[in-house]
């Protein structure tokens, strides 16, 4: 029986572990933290449950398929419920509207807010559906191992069809006139950690996921997905090691011969998968002489996606005006992205709040459990940023108060996360939420490959590689890499 060692227990690593174990491999997974799930982290404190990380879940079948393919019943591990009118958007002038996967609900709202948008909504949906289906057909379900993989005529044609020269913002302007509708849709760029004024139109496929396929919630908290994956992995015999940081990969003649743990123990494996952010983990674990295609200089050239400033706020009682997914927009979105791009915190940030207790009061019986997220610049390369988290927290609370949402007066529990915390806790390259940015047209598809070009038995799965960041993509990445390994050995 062949042995696979997986470094990192994020969703990508857990998915690869489940897929390989169900295909007859002996799998050992090493995670440096005490929890599995990586950025999908359950924070349970003083009666409040918070889903740190993925709050907005799309493409539930991607998670379910991993278990089904492994011969398990997904409903034994986690269940999803669809949120139809999923996101309330609120603007400084008091206007609010919802994003929904009901076409008639959307058209009715648009008739009031954006008659041109209402008239064009059907063709908008058709076009974003096309973008999604092209990506799904040519991109999501395969690994990318070298530049040759981009040369297939089908992929070349697909890439040309996805309007690669237009920005996301320009794409939306073709269909909508009301700047607030466009701003709400522009926000989808942040789901890949990018900027709508430069990210290519291709990513309008994210609008398809939310406005057609829908937004989902996992009963008991989205972190139950990670918990379910851990149970499934154990049921299939995966050996899971927590508090087990990998220090080094021992490479000889283009093969990883040993995975060296922090405690000095060396594990032998036939194949190795790095699930930790590869821009950080690969250079940390493999000395530069063994990876000429991925030099330290090349790593420095990657632009990280945006990071986040997070407040977990447990409240006494509930705020009725707060919705499960609620966005409070800045008056000047362009300025906000400019500030972040130049390495600064936005002075008037757009604030996203997820309060899962609105649909699932049991997770937080005494009051609302607010996960408050503001886009933030990635950490700087040298010194840590001299941001005062207390001051910035106050900027956020004051801004929410101006919208009539008074968090501070109800605050019972609070935890603050800066981009440095995200970097250190998850080993995320410069604290980025979604791996490398997808801003330049070429970045949209050209992420680091799923397999080392220098070391024959080393693979990469997770948000910094193909097909991209965000929880369903990361799961696809783990599945694709596991299937590539099975295929290499003549199975699958």
Ligand X SMILES: Cc1cc2nc3c(=O)[nH]c(=O)nc-3n(C[C@H](O)[C@H](O)[C@H](O)COP(=O)(O)OP(=O)(O)OC[C@H]3O[C@@H](n4cnc5c(N)ncnc54)[C@H](O)[C@@H]3O)c2cc1C
CB of 114 to ligand X, least distance (A): 26
Provide the mask over 419-438, with x wherever binding to ligand X is found by CB under 6 A and - wherever it is not.
---x---xx-----xx----
Measured from the CB atom, the residue of 176 and 294 that comes closer to ligand X is 294
User: How far apart (Å, rounded) are the C-alpha atoms in residues 282 and 465?
Assistant: 12
**271 touches ligand X by CB under 6 A:** no
**What binding mask, one character per residue, do residues 371-390 give for ligand X by CB under 6 A, x or -?**
--x-----------------
Q: What string of H, E and C letters represents the secondary structure of 147-215?
A: HHHHHCHHHHHHHHHCCCCCEHHHHHHCCCCCHHHHHHHHHHHHHHCCCCCCCEHHHHHHHHHHHHHCE
CA distance 357 to 19: 33
Return d(Cα 263, Cα 271) in angstroms, integer.
21
Nearer to ligand X, 117 or 469 (CB): 469
Q: Which residues, 458 to 477, sit near ligand X by CB under 6 A? A: 462-463, 469-471, 474
Residue 39 in the binding site for ligand X (CB under 6 A)? yes
Comparing C-alpha atoms, which of 455, 481, 469 is closest to residue 426? 469
Question: Rule CB under 6 A: is residue 12 a binding residue for ligand X?
Answer: yes
Given a contact cutoff of 8 angstroms between Cβ atoms, the answer to whether 212 and 99 are in contact is no
> Quick check: 9 binds ligand X (CB under 6 A)?
yes
230, 118 Cβ separation under 8 angstroms: no
Binding of ligand X at residue 393 (CB under 6 A)? no
**Residues with Cβ within 8 Å of residue 316, at least 6 apart in sequence:** 366, 367, 410, 411, 412
- Minimum gap (Å) between residue 28 Cβ and ligand X: 12
- Please tell me whether residue 109 binds ligand X under the rule CB under 6 A: no
Residue 358 host element (H or E): none
Decide if residue 27 touches ligand X (CB under 6 A). no
From the list 138-146, 147-155, 204-212, 275-283, the region that binds ligand X by CB under 6 A is 275-283
* Binding residues for ligand X restricted to 322-381, rule: CB under 6 A: 373
Q: Smallest gap, in angstroms, from Cβ of residue 115 to ligand X? A: 32
Question: Rounded to 10 degrees, what is the CA torsion of 122, 124, 130, 131?
Answer: -160
> What single-letter DSSP state applies at residue 334?
H
Give how many residues touch ligand X by CB under 6 A: 38
Cis peptide before 362 (omega within 30 of 0): no
Residues that bind ligand X (CB under 6 A): 7-13, 30-33, 38-40, 53-56, 245-246, 275-277, 281, 308, 310, 373, 422, 426-427, 433-434, 462-463, 469-471, 474
């Amino acid at each position: 029986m062949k042995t696979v060692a997986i470094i990192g227990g994020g969703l990508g690593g857990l998915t690869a572990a489940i897929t390989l174990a169900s295909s007859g491999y002996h799998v050992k997974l090493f995670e440096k933290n005490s929890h599995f799930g990586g950025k999908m982290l359950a924070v349970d404190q003083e009666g409040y449950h918070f889903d740190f990380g993925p709050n907005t879940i799309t493409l539930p079948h991607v998670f379910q398929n991993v278990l089904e393919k492994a011969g398990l019943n997904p409903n034994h591990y986690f269940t999803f419920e669809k949120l139809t009118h999923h996101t309330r958007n609120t603007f400084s002038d008091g206007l609010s509207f919802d994003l929904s996967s009901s076409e008639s609900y959307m058209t009715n709202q648009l008739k009031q807010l954006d008659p041109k948008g209402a008239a064009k909504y059907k063709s908008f949906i058709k076009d974003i559906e096309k973008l999604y289906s092209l990506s799904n057909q040519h991109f999501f379900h395969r690994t990318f191992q070298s530049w040759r993989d981009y040369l297939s005529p089908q992929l070349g044609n697909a890439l040309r069809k996805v309007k690669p020269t237009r920005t996301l913002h320009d794409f939306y302007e073709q269909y909508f006139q009301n700047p607030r509708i466009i701003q709400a849709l522009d926000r989808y760029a942040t789901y890949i950690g990018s900027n709508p004024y430069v990210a290519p139109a291709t990513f309008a496929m994210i609008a398809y996921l939310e406005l057609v396929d829908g937004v989902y919630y996992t009963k008991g908290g989205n972190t139950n997905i990670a918990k379910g994956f851990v149970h499934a992995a154990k049921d299939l015999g995966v050996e899971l090691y927590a508090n087990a940081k990998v220090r080094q990969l021992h490479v000889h003649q283009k093969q990883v011969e040993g995975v060296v743990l922090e405690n000095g123990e060396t594990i032998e494996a036939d194949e190795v998968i790095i699930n930790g952010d590869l821009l950080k983990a690969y250079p940390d674990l493999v000395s530069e002489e063994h990876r000429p295609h991925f030099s330290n200089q090349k790593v420095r050239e990657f632009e990280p996606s945006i990071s986040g400033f997070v407040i977990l706020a447990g409240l006494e009682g509930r705020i009725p005006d707060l919705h499960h997914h609620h966005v409070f927009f800045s008056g000047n979105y362009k300025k906000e992205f400019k500030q972040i791009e130049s390495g600064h915190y936005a002075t008037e940030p757009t604030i996203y709040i997820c309060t899962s207790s609105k649909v699932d009061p049991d997770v937080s019986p005494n009051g609302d459990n607010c996960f408050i997220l503001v886009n933030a610049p990635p950490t700087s390369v040298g010194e840590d940023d001299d941001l005062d988290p207390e001051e910035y927290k106050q900027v956020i609370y004051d801004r929410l108060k101006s919208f009539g949402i008074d968090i501070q007066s109800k605050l019972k529990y609070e935890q603050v996360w800066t981009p440095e915390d995200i970097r250190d806790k998850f080993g995320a390259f410069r604290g980025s939420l979604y791996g490398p940015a997808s801003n330049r047209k070429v970045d949209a598809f050209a992420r680091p490959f799923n397999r080392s070009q220098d070391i024959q038995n080393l693979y990469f799965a997770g948000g910094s590689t193909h097909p991209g960041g965000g929880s369903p993509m990361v799961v696809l990445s783990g599945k694709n890499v596991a299937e590539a390994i099975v295929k290499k050995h003549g199975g699958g």
